[in-house]
Amino acid sequence: MPNQRWVRLSTEKATSTLHILGTELCLDICGAAPSAATTFDIWATLGLNFSVDRNTEESNLSFYAPRWELDKTVKVTVTMDAPSIEADEEKIRISYYKENSKIPVAKAILHITCVEISLDADINRSGMVTRRGKQKSQWTWGPDGRGAVLLVNCDRDTPGAEKEDNKDTELKSDLDRKDMSCMILTAHGPNEVFQNHQLILHISEVEDDKVGVFYSQGEMEKKHYKHVLGSGKLSYKVERDLDQVESVFYVEGLKFPDIDFSGLLAFHASLLESTNKEIPQAPIFTDTLVFRVAPWVMTPNTLQPISVYVCSVDGNDDFVAEVRKLASKARCKFIICPPEENRMDRWIQDEMEFGYTQAPHKTFPVVFDSPRNRGLKDFPFKKVLGPDFGYVQRDLPPEISPSSLDSFGNLEVSPPVKVRGKEYPLGRILIGTYFPGNFNRNMSKIVQDFLHAQVVQSPIELHSDWLLVGHVDEFLSFVPAPDQKGFRLLLASPSACFKLLKEKEEQGHGAAKMFEGIEFPEGKAHSITEIIADRSLRNWNEYCQKCIDWNRNILKRELDLTEKDIIDIPQLFSPDSQKSSAVAYFPDMVNMVVLGKYLGIPKPFGPIIDGQCCLEKEVRHLLEPLGLSCIFIDDYSTYHLLRGDVHCGTNVRRKPFSFKWWNMSP
C-alpha cells in the first residue's frame, strides 16, 4: 500500500500542496465542507488521478464525477504519474452542494505540485543501485530477499596512513570509494519547490558511531567528497544545484555487528516545509533506506588456499623450508614473518584468523587480530592490513587478562553442513570453552559476543579446557573429501592409538620404540610394550578420550555427522608437569595445515616397523583414499616441545565462499 498524506482543504482561498511521486494524497473532504452541504463533486486537471471510495464502493475517475454524499466514510485519494515541470501546474476542485441544489454553496481549490523524492541503493544486491525500489525500509534474508549491504571500511588504502580507513572522516581515493556503497538521492521537480523547502538526509543518534557518509561534489577530475553524516553529524541539509536531479553519496560502515549492534542501519531523506522563520519546519515526506553491515566470515579448510604464513625464529629454518615446499606444491604464496616482526613469537595461528567481508559490489579479506598480544601483536596491523585487506580487533578491558583460550588456535570453522533440515552454507564456528570442574578458563566474552553477532556461522562451544594449552585445533581438524559430504572430521584418538600399538605388539614388534633418532630431553624413547604397560599413561588417555568423545557427540549433533564422516587419528596425550591437564605425548597429528589435497602433518616419530613409522603408515592408510597427500614435517624440537605443532606455527588465507552470505536464512 502506498504511503498516504492527509491534506486539509479550504473554501476560503485556494491552497497548494506537494505530492510525492509514488504516494497518495488523501483529501479532507468533510473537514472543509460547509455545515449545510450534503453532497460534493470533483473536477481535476489532466495530470491528476483521483478516486472516491465510500465503504466498499470505489470509482476511479479522471476529470468529472457525479455528486457524492458527504459522509465521514468517504475517502478521496489523488496521485500523479510524473514530477511536475512547474509549481502548482495541476489543480483539483471540490464543489459542495446543499440538498437538491445545482449551485455549489462553496468550492475548495487545491493546487498540486508533484516531486520525486527517492533514496536508493543496491537493494536487489546486483552490484548496481536499484532505482525507485520498493520495500527498501526492510531488510530480508534469502535468495529472494531484498536490502542493501554495507561494508566496514576496515582496510587501509592510503600508504603511510596510521589507521584503518573507517577510523577517519576522509575519502581521498578511488580505492577508498570502491569500498563504500553508493546511495543516490533523487529530488526531481520544479526548482522553486526545492528553494522553498529543505531536503534533509539524517540518521539516528545510535547509528552515529557506526556509519560514515560522503557527498560527491564536483565533476570528473575535480570531484571531491564531503563528509556529511556520522562521527557526530546526525543530519545534513542537501546542497542541490538548480535543475540537479540526483545527489550521489558514498556510505561506509564503521563497525561490524556486535552484541549491541544488529548490523542494520537506517537512512532517512526528509522533505520539510518552510513556513516562516519563527515557526519550525513541518515534515512533508520521509523516505527510508535500510542497509545491513556485512559480517566477518571465516573460511574452513575445504576452501582453496591462497597464501601461507610462517614465522622465522631461531632454530626453525628447516621447518620454514619444509612449509615452503608444501606451499609450493599447493601453489600458494609463501609469506615469512621475520624475527624483527615476530619478536620470537612463533605461534602465528594463535595471533590472527583470516576471514573476509563481502557486498554485492566488493569482497576483501579481513584479518581478525586476537587479544593475546604477545610478540606478534603488531604484525596483523602493521604488515597484513593494507589496500583491500581489512583489520578487526576486539580488545579486552584493561582489568581482564587474556587466557590461552583467547588465542585463535582455539577458533575454527566447519565446512558447510545441513543440520536437521537447517542449512549452514558457510559452516559453523567452533570455539573451545571450559567444562565445570576444570580450570574454568574461557574465551573472553567480548570475542564470543563478536563471533555470535556475525550471525551467518552460528558458533558451537566445545570443551577444550582439559588441555594445557586449551585449543580446539589440538584435537580436531577438517580435510576435504571427494563425495557429497565434501569433508571429513579428524579427531585425535587415544583409543585408536592404543589399538594400533597393541596390534603391532601382537605382531611381534613390541620392542620397537617411539622417538628413534631424535634427542628426547623429557625421558627415554619408550617401546611399544612399555607404552602399553604404562598404567598411568593409559589412565590419562582414557580421560582424554572421554573428553574428546564428549566433543564428538556435540559435533555429531551440531554438524549432523555420522560415524562415517569422522576419521580417528591415532594420538596419545600425557599429563603436564602439574598433572592437571593434557599435552600431546608425541607431535599432534591432527594439528596439521591443510592446503587443498596437501596435508602438512606433524611428524610423529612413531615406532619404525619394516622401515616405516607405523603411525605415519596408519594415517596415510586413513587419508590417502580421499585423494589427500600426507606430508610429514619435523616440528619436534622447534614447536612440539614448546606445546604446539604445525597448525599452531602456520596460518592460511583462503578464497571466500562462492555462496553469498545474504542468500542464507540464519
d(CA 9, CA 19): 14
Q: What is the mean pLDDT of residues 106-113?
A: 98
Q: Which 3 state secondary structure label does DSSP give 655?
A: coil
Please check whether residue 572 is in contact with residue 494, taking contact to mean a CB–CB distance below 8 angstroms.
yes
| CA-based radius of gyration for the chain | 34
Comparing CA positions, the residue from 79, 115, 132 lying closest to residue 273 is 115
Torsion of CA 420, 422, 427, 432, to 10 degrees: -60
Supply the pLDDT for residue 520.
66
Mean pLDDT of 171-199: 95
Average pLDDT, the chain: 95
CA 171 – CA 363 distance, rounded (Å): 19
- Cα angle value 626/629/633 (rounded, 5°): 135
56 pLDDT above the threshold of 70: no
43, pLDDT greater than 70: yes
Catalytic residue among 19, 197, 463, 471: 471
| pLDDT at residue 494 is higher than 80 | yes
Mean pLDDT on 559-578: 97
What is the distance between the alpha carbons of residues 80 and 494, in angstroms, rounded to a whole number?
A: 77
* Dihedral in degrees, nearest 10, Cα atoms 194, 26, 7, 189: 10
* Residue in 586, 654, 590, 576 with CA at minimum distance from that of residue 623: 590
Report pLDDT for 273: 86
Check residue 361 and report its DSSP letter.
T
Exposure class string for 10-29: b at 16+ Cβ within 10 A, else e: ebeeeeebbbbbbbbbebeb
Residue 86 pLDDT exceeds 50: yes
pLDDT of residue 577: 85
pLDDT at 281: 84
Please give the C-alpha separations between residue 109 and each of 30, 86, 119, 526, 570, in angstroms, as whole numbers: 14, 18, 31, 103, 89
- Give the pLDDT confidence score for residue 219 in this predicted structure: 78
471 is catalytic: yes
Catalytic residue among 120, 155, 406, 473: 473
Which is nearest to 467 in space by CA: 644, 626, 627? 644
65: pLDDT strictly greater than 80: no
Closest CA to 207 of 292, 122, 283: 292
Percent of the chain having pLDDT more than 90? 88
- The residue type at 78: V
φ, ψ of residue 417 in degrees (nearest 5): -140, 165
pLDDT at residue 278 above 90?
A: no
Phi, psi values for residue 176, rounded to 5°: -65, -40
> pLDDT > 70: what percent of the chain?
96
Q: Is 648 a catalytic residue?
A: yes
| Buried residues in 418-433 as b, exposed as e (16+ CB within 10 A) | eeeeeebbbbbbbbbb
Residue 282 has what pLDDT?
87
Q: What is the pLDDT of residues 327-340, one digit of tens each?
A: 999 999 999 999 99
Whether the pLDDT of residue 119 is over 90: the answer is yes
What is the C-alpha separation between 351 and 338, in angstroms, rounded? 15
Helix (H) or strand (E) segment spanning residue 550: helix 535-559
pLDDT the model gives residue 578: 86
Please say whether the beta carbons of 7 and 27 come within 8 A. Answer: yes
| Position 13 pLDDT exceeds 90 | yes
Question: What is the pLDDT confidence band of residue 274, given thresholds at 50, 70 and 90?
Answer: confident
pLDDT at position 182 over 90: yes
DSSP 516-536: TTS--TTS---BHHHHHH-HH
Q: Are 474 and 588 in contact (CB under 8 A)?
A: yes
Cα–Cα distance measured from residue 38 to residue 662, given in angstroms and rounded to the nearest whole number: 56
The pLDDT of residue 63 = 45
pLDDT above 50 for 422 = yes
Give CA–CA dist 384/156, Å, rounded. 10
* Mean pLDDT computed over 409-429: 98
**Residue 310 near residue 302, CB atoms below 8 Å:** no
Q: Cα–Cα distance between 656 and 303 in angstroms, integer?
A: 7
**What pLDDT digit, counting tens, does each position of 585-623 carry?**
999 999 999 999 999 999 999 999 999 999 999 999 999
Burial (Cβ within 10 Å: 0-12, 13-18, ≥19) of residue 57: exposed
Q: Is the pLDDT of residue 210 over 90?
A: yes
| 42 has pLDDT over 50 | yes
pLDDT of 437 reads: 64
Q: Which of 217-221, 303-307, 453-457, 647-651 has the lowest mean pLDDT?
A: 217-221
**Maximum separation of any 2 CA atoms in the chain, in Å:** 121
For residue 472, the one-letter residue type is: V
For residues 282-307, average pLDDT = 97
Whether 62 shows a pLDDT value over 50: the answer reads no
Q: Please, which pLDDT band fits residue 160 given cuts at 50, 70 and 90?
A: confident
Over range 296-310, report the average pLDDT: 99
